[in-house]
Structure 1
Amino acid sequence: MRVLFWALPAEGVSFLLGGRRMKKLIATIIAIFAFLIVAFTTETRQSTNQKKQVVGILQTMSHPALDQIHRGIIKGLEKEGYRNGKNITIDFQNAQGDQSNLKSMSDRFIQQDAALTIGIATPAVQSLANEAGDTPVIMGAVSDPLGTHLVKSLKRPGGKTTGVQDMQPVGAQLKLIQTIMPKLKNIGVIYTSSDDSSASEYREFRKLAEAQGINVKSYTVTSTNDIEQVAQTMAGKVEAVYVPTDNTVASGIATLLKATNAAKIPVFPAADTMVKPGGLATRAVSQFDMGVLTGRMAGQVLKGKNPATMPVQRVTEYETVVNLKAAKKLGITIPDSVIKASQKKGDIIK
């Protein structure tokens, strides 16, 4: 290594070596530059680490109710300060009702070392919870988290899973049906036999209805392919139909309504999103609001809260939604009390 020297006038050497003020100025500039470099490096690392935080969202299948929950989750995360592409990366996967997809998509999140995962509907949550490891799992609207063994206790879940319980006001829904159809004696319930949450709501509805002297006839399906035949069979034997929060039936609601409308039989769904396409009326908890609450809980876990000690939460306020267009088609008059309730808090579809 060669070192080059050059000569300076004596006055210049004296200036460079003897100027204390100049030395202090240079030292100050160097210190400032060092501070800025360290600060920039730290900020860049923090930013990179935040962007590496993956939030995996797994949706069981596509239909309006679950899509509303998904939109609510994004809103809830934003309310907690987390935005996709800014400080988190959201990986959204839709299994489209395929069990094998649920498994492979759940594996995907673990391979990405996701900070947490969110399941929309019971099958998605179960798939995420079955993954090995301690990656937090947030339930997006599960009707029966205890019965499905997702948590040990609603107040203290005790594991890696917590979230939002989908508690539809089944008693209020039955009362609404009786208000619109006071002479009702026979009602059919269509639900998916393998859907734990749907089956749980069916059992609750049956118990309440039979206590009111109403005969309940159950009809089960295993996929959307069964709905048309089951609906045609059911239509000739009941005066009305109740649909629990059921993903399969929700996906095939148009097929169900085609059969019931032909027989002039009203359908009372548990979810508000099934009223718009032709269901007659419901009193239900907003799917979007449940999503927002789910997103907020996910945000709190990202901030350091332990899911094992976070109580399962639920939306307690419900809305009355009425489809006057469907009522006219069926020749049913909606009582003023129901109209007023929907005007106060809810929606009227005309």
Structure 2
Amino acid sequence: MNKVKRMIAFITALVVFLGVAFFKTGGTQTTKTNKIPTVGILQLQTHPALDAIHRGVVAGLKENGYVPGKTVKIDYQNAQGDQSNLKTMSQKFMNENAAETVAIATPAAQALSTAAKGKTPVILAGITDPAGSGLIKSNEKPGNNVTGTSGESPLKSHLDLLRQLFPKAKTIGIIYTTSDHGGEYNAKKFARICKQEGVAYKMYTLANTNDMQQVSETMASQVDAVYAPQDNGVASAMKTLINVTNKAKIPVIPAVDTMVKDGGLATLSVDQYELGKLSGEMAAKVLKGKATSNYAIKLITKGKMTVNLSEAKKLGYTFPDSVLKEAQTKGEVFK
């Protein structure tokens, strides 16, 4: 009888022990499961266009269930144009075991891709020509841990707009930064379109933003109008460019609305915020398990008319009614 009682007591104790152990283990697993993921966002430098993309990424994540501080931790890093910072910050994300990273500007994407070593997902936010940068195999099938959105400018539309506004312009100056792959890609593609359309052009290059004053002064003496492509270096030195071209009474047609705000005359601009938002939506789907390797790159190629009335006044220029009406009703007007 005593043996039976001792056996019952032993079995009872064992059941209690196993129950407690199971409860603790389950609690630990629940804690791990509920741990919110970290998303690292790396931005090349501070600039209105890149800042707009950043805001869009956060909004896209939020609208798809990843609320900063609640269901996702966002580690935002800005390299302020320093290449060494890009490398250090990229490695920081890897050391923190970020669930994925988001790249704003090509140099940031290249740094993140190198640090990720084909493992941690990298989401591109408006990166021009990602295949040409070696980041992916193709837009349709990226083929590795990198996907996202591409900031492909509507270049033919930009040339059409320039010719509509300035039909008598004989030679167009195209300026870009040699160290910016996206800028070089856009500039050379724009030049090819000019050649196809029988429009004369001259190319001007910057090694860095410090070259803008001298190069733009040379350019202003040789052309009738300037095209400023989507290029981080040119965008950063836009005000220097405009100071020079205004003195020469030469218009600048840039690629994006933020460059119009900084003194460009007009453009058909892809919305940078919406581009970032689309990247945020893609980032959310990857966090939920979607594979990057066959997740096609997404593009926004339709631009909205954007004009700068203050710049037009400085140049003594009057916009055609159709252009001004389109900007007022469907686009943006800077006064």
* Pick aligned residue for 1:237 from 222, 225, 244: 222
Once the two structures are TM-superposed, the CA of residue 42 in structure 1 deviates from its matched residue by 7.2
* Pick aligned residue for 2:31 from 45, 52, 62: 45
Distance 2:109 2:40 in 1: 11
> In the alignment, residue 163 of structure 1 is paired with which amino acid?
G
Q: CA RMSD in A?
A: 1.9
> In the alignment, residue 148 of structure 1 is paired with which amino acid?
S
Corresponding position of 2:294:
309
**Once the two structures are superposed, what CA deviation does each residue of 1:54-93 show, in whole Å capped at 9, x if it has no partner?**
1000001111111111111111111111111111111111
Corresponding position of 2:14:
none
Corresponding position of 2:83:
99
CA contact (8 A) 2:56 2:273 kept: yes
Per mean C-alpha deviation after superposition, the further-off stretch among 290-299 and 337-346 is 337-346
Corresponding position of 2:250:
265
TM-score after normalising by structure 2: 0.90
**Once the two structures are superposed, what CA deviation does each residue of 1:26-65 show, in whole Å capped at 9, x if it has no partner?**
xxxxxxxx9xx88x94796167511xx1100000111111
Corresponding position of 1:199:
184
Once the two structures are TM-superposed, the CA of residue 317 in structure 1 deviates from its matched residue by 2.9
Question: Aligned pairs, how many?
Answer: 314
Corresponding position of 1:10:
none
Once the two structures are TM-superposed, the CA of residue 204 in structure 1 deviates from its matched residue by 1.4
CA contact (8 A) 2:44 2:107 kept: yes
Corresponding position of 2:102:
118
Distance 1:133 1:304 in 2: 16
Corresponding position of 2:325:
340
Corresponding position of 2:16:
none
CA contact (8 A) 2:118 2:145 kept: no
**Once the two structures are superposed, what CA deviation does each residue of 1:193-234 show, in whole Å capped at 9, x if it has no partner?**
121111111111111112222211111112111111111111
Corresponding position of 2:147:
162
- SS of 1:260's equivalent in the other structure is helix
CA contact (8 A) 1:47 1:87 kept: no
- Aligned-residue sequence identity (percent) comes to 48
TM-score after normalising by structure 1: 0.86
Matches within 5 A, 1:153-232: 153-232=138-217
Once the two structures are TM-superposed, the CA of residue 340 in structure 1 deviates from its matched residue by 2.0
CA contact (8 A) 2:225 2:252 kept: yes
Structure 1's unaligned 5+ residue stretches are: 1-33
- SS of 2:126's equivalent in the other structure is strand
Runs (4+) of structure 1 moved beyond 3 Å? 40-44
* Pick aligned residue for 1:320 from 283, 301, 305: 305
Distance 1:156 1:344 in 2: 38
Corresponding position of 2:3:
none
Larger-Rg structure = 1
Distance 1:42 1:240 in 2: 66
* Pick aligned residue for 1:152 from 137, 154, 159: 137
